[in-house]
Amino acid sequence: MKKLRLGPPPRTVTVKVTVSLPLELKSDLDRYADLLKEESSGEPVSVAELIPHILQTFINRDPGFRARRKVPPEDSTGVNKTT
C-alpha cells in the first residue's frame, strides 16, 4: 500500500477562518484524516488540523508563488528554508 504524501500536521499558532466545503470534499478529508491516523501510530488528526497542513504544503510547493514570495518558503515544520 502506498503511503500518504503528507505526514502529521505540525503544531503551530493558528487563526480561525470559516470556510464552506462541498460535501464530497469534506468526506474525502475525513477519510484522509482516518488514513493518516492509521499511518501515524493511531495519533488522531482532525480535519481542522489537516486543512491548514494541506494548504501550507500546496503553497510551499507552488513554484510560481515561491518565485514571487518576498520571504523564504517554510518547510512542513514551519521553519524557513534558506537556499
Mean pLDDT of the chain: 83
**Cell numbers at 23, concatenated:** 460535501
Total domains in the fold of the chain: 1
Q: Is residue 43 part of a domain?
A: yes
Contact between 35 and 63 (Cβ < 8 Å): no
Distance separating alpha carbons of residues 11 and 20, to the nearest angstrom: 23
**Cell numbers at 61, concatenated:** 510547493
Q: Is residue 18 part of a domain?
A: no
**What pTM did the predictor assign?**
0.64
Q: Is residue 83 part of a domain?
A: no
Q: Is residue 15 part of a domain?
A: no
| pLDDT: which is higher, 16 or 20 | 20
Distance separating alpha carbons of residues 32 and 50, to the nearest angstrom: 9
Q: Is residue 42 part of a domain?
A: yes
Domain that holds residue 33: 23-68
Contact between 53 and 9 (Cβ < 8 Å): yes
Q: Is residue 37 part of a domain?
A: yes
Q: Is residue 11 part of a domain?
A: no
In the chain, pLDDT over 70 holds for what percent of residues? 84
Q: Which residue's C-alpha cell is 477519510?
A: 31
The pLDDT value given to residue 44: 83
